[in-house]
Structure 1
Amino acid sequence: MTQLGHSGIDVFPLALGGNTFGWTSDEATSHRVLDAFTAGGGNFIDTADGYSAFVPGNSGGESEAIIASWLAARKNRDSVVIGTKVSTHPQFKGLAPANVAAALDASLKRLGTDYVDVYYAHFDDPKTPLAETAEAFNTQLKAGKIRAVGLSNYTGARITEWLQVCRREGFELPAVVQPHYNLVARRPYEREIAPVLVEAGIGSVPYLALASGFLVGSYRKIGLSSKVKPYLSVVGGLLTGKHRTKKQEFGRGPREILASRYFSAAGLAVVDAVEQIASARGVDMAAVAIAWLRGRPEVTAPLASARTVEQLPALLAGAELVLTAAETAVLDEVSARVG
């Protein structure tokens, strides 16, 4: 186990993403994944109130509800660490104080618990003064409804501003940040965010650890046609542009949309390096990508999802694998050329 920032909360060095629950994994499959994760030593489960409102027929909160039914069946609430997020549920958009309070109460009800371990601001809300949002989170912390404050998808400048507000007003500092960071998405995080986290003792739980499957070779032979126009990914609200290659189109599912941003000659070189190291060590490529993230000094627990139980062993192996200095240097060098 490792400590989550300065929170005093001990977590397994890999967080399980619950974004697939109620989306690509039905309730029974999700329960099996959760069982296998905890049997493998895991205890850190990530979700959001907006998962999975982006799926036709869903309304948001499906992931939390599935986790709740699992907790009720296993009676293990106190042995797991649950993080959820606010700002993307269709009924609770943004980070106005009243919305934060109402969304948290709704999440607690769906999860069947009276507290969450980590409560994240899922996306920055420029329409609400940051000082008001920070106070709203601190109020919930003092009320005992959350154990730690987290920030997701915040820039380094906005994290710094949140810290300044907390120090000025005497609020508890955020304990964890959830950024987009992996072997093919390094520069913004390492330049703008990581230094802030190190200085403040904040833990990092990077999402898209496997780059939506790109780093395990899922899309090595698939490109994006020059005829595909930019369009908005419903997952994360991220805009993806036109990627020109000479190969066929990516699929247009949410994961394929997200993975398309990584497709380049430099990105494929990273995939090749990951594969070579994985082959030499006798492990899956996912384990290597996760192990590289774990080697960063401020990273507490990379975040990865599993649609099925069969995908879990490779992820769990990444929580134990330690790369050599030479392996790390190879990955550092080749991934530095991306973007």
Structure 2
Amino acid sequence: MDTIELGRTGEQVSKLALGAMQMGNATDEQSSFRILDRYFEAGGSFVDTADCYEWWATPGSRGGESEELLGRWMRAGNRRNDVFLATKGSALPHYSPDLWAADGTANWELARRTFAGAGADTLRHALDGSLRRLGTDHVDLYYVHVDDRNTPLEETLEALAGLVTAGKVRHLGWSNVRTWRLEAIRQLCDRYGWPAPVAVQQQHTYLRPRAGLDHASIVGTEQWDYLASHRDLTLVSYSPILKGVYDDPAKRTGHWAMEPYAGEDSERRLAVLTSLADELGVKPNQLVLAWLLHQATPPVLPLIGPRTYGQLEDALPALDIKLDAEQLARLDAAGA
């Protein structure tokens, strides 16, 4: 697996990241260890988790299951030095029994109103909890998981700078954030000499957001242009294959992951994508990952989150798909 520079840090990470969100819940420990072992065998190095994963899966959970599992895996194989380890804070909701309905499903409306946020004390305690669960004294990349507009940026950024100074964090990132906020963050860091984010984790895929969509978590044309002009920020693309819907037209119909992309533009892009995948003898999901891996301005680092070993094996061939200029142009030009 090739590597990509993280921002302008000189840090080289694998150009395909592995998301561990479902590990310890939907993906049991044995299967999770197998996925992790295979990813590293393929040359991977970049593993992503968060302190809130996956509180919503089990009534009464306070998250941390993914971090705990990763800690056990790293200890079992003495793997900590092999891993570029990313985790996140700020998105764990305050505990309430009302976070789950009687049938066990999560109350996301309440959760979004009660996220822990990015206050200084909150982040310090959240990181200490993450380090304890992961069984390490530092993480390589620490994200503000959900941009907190109720806390002054100065407070958040000064606290993050303190975590870097203390050696608990090497690099910083932001997720689910609007472009104007990224610029404000960068300017404050420059003014006060605080470490600036080097990674931005947003939802990004081959389909384009539908016209009029207002979504802080999905890369639109303005944010794409901003990232192309600020190469010290690396785009880490989560949900790059939208829960695998590219391979299955029936699955796409009515799937919630398709809602932000619904429309004629997506239908035309899907038609071109499917046609080229057939020509190349690959799956559409694989072609989407390959297209993302070929992006250069700005470069994109796809973050895959396989629930099963088979899903990981299905994604890895994307690393070997080479697209020429004509094929990239066909994919890029597709749409309404």
TM-score (norm 2): 0.84
Please name the residue that 2:281 is paired with: 282
The total of aligned residue pairs comes to: 304
Confirm or deny: 8 A CA contact 2:209 2:261 kept in the other structure: no
Matched with 1:293 is 292
Partner of 2:221: 191
Match of 1:301, SS?
Answer: strand
Task: Tell whether 2:97 aligns with 1:66.
Answer: no
Name the structure 1 match of 2:326: 326
1:209 is the counterpart of 2:240: yes
1:2 shift after superposition: 1.6
Which residue is equivalent to 1:142?
A: 165
- Deviation at residue 223 of structure 1 after TM alignment: 2.9
Determine the C-alpha separation between the residues in 1 that align with 2:42 and 2:198. Answer: 25
1:100 is aligned to 123
**For 1:116 and 1:283, how far apart are their aligned partners in 2?**
36
For residue 179 of structure 2, what is the aligned residue in structure 1?
156
- What CA distance in whole angstroms lies between the structure 2 residues aligned with 1:300 and 1:262? 19
Q: Give yes or no for contact 2:158–2:194 (8 Å, CA) kept in 1.
A: yes
Distance 1:273 1:300 in 2: 21
> Aligned to 1:179, what secondary structure does the other structure show?
strand
Structure 2: segments with no counterpart, 5+ residues: 95-114, 211-217
The more displaced of 180-189 and 103-112 is: 180-189
- 2:101 counterpart residue number: none
TM-superposed CA distance for 1:100, in Å, is: 0.6
Confirm or deny that 1:316 pairs with 2:316. Answer: yes
More displaced stretch, 17-26 vs 265-274: 265-274
Residues 221, 35 of structure 1: alpha-carbon distance in 2 compared, 3 angstrom cutoff = closer
Query: Quick check: 1:81–1:117 contact (8 Å CA) kept in 2?
Result: yes
1:53-92 counterparts in 2 under 5 A? 53-57=55-59, 58-90=61-93
Question: Do the aligned residues in 1 keep the contact of 2:209 with 2:220 (CA within 8 Å)?
Answer: yes
Q: Matched residues in 2 for 1:119 and 1:220: separation?
A: 38
Verify the 8 A CA contact 1:205 1:303 in the aligned structure 2: yes
The offset of 1:333, in angstroms, is: 2.1
- Could you say which residue in structure 2 is the equivalent of 1:304? 304
For residues 66-125 of structure 1, give each alpha carbon's deviation from its aligned partner in whole angstroms, at most 9, with x where no partner exists: 111111111111111111111112357100011011000000001111111100011110
Residue deviations 1:177-217 (CA, integer Å, cap 9, x gap):
11111111358625222333333321111111002222232
Secondary structure, counterpart of 1:109 in structure 2: helix
Offset at residue 286 of structure 1 (A): 2.0
SS at match of 1:205: strand
**TM-superposed deviation, 1:300:** 4.2
- What is the alpha-carbon distance in structure 1 between the residues aligned to residue 229 and residue 165 of structure 2? 25
Match of 1:49 among 41, 48, 51: 51
CA distance in 2, matches of 1:284, 1:222: 15
**Corresponding residue of 2:104:** none
What residue in structure 1 maps to residue 103 of structure 2? none
Q: Which residue of 1 aligns with 2:110?
A: none
Structure 1 segments unaligned to the other structure (5+ residues):
225-255
1:147-197 deviation line (CA, Å, top 9, x unaligned) = 100011111100000000000001122111111111113586252223333
8 Å Cα contact 1:214/1:271 also seen in 2: no
In 2, Cα distance between the equivalents of 1:222 and 1:296? Answer: 25
Structure 1 position 64, deviation (Å) = 0.8
Query: Match of 2:56, SS?
Result: coil
Deviation at 1:264, TM superposition (A): 3.8
Q: Which whole-Å CA distance do the structure 2 matches of 1:135 and 1:28 have between them?
A: 40
User: Is the 1:60–1:90 contact (alpha carbons within 8 Å) kept by the matching residues of 2?
Assistant: no
Q: 1:300 to 1:191 in 2, by over 3 A?
A: closer
Give the drift of 1:54. Answer: 1.4
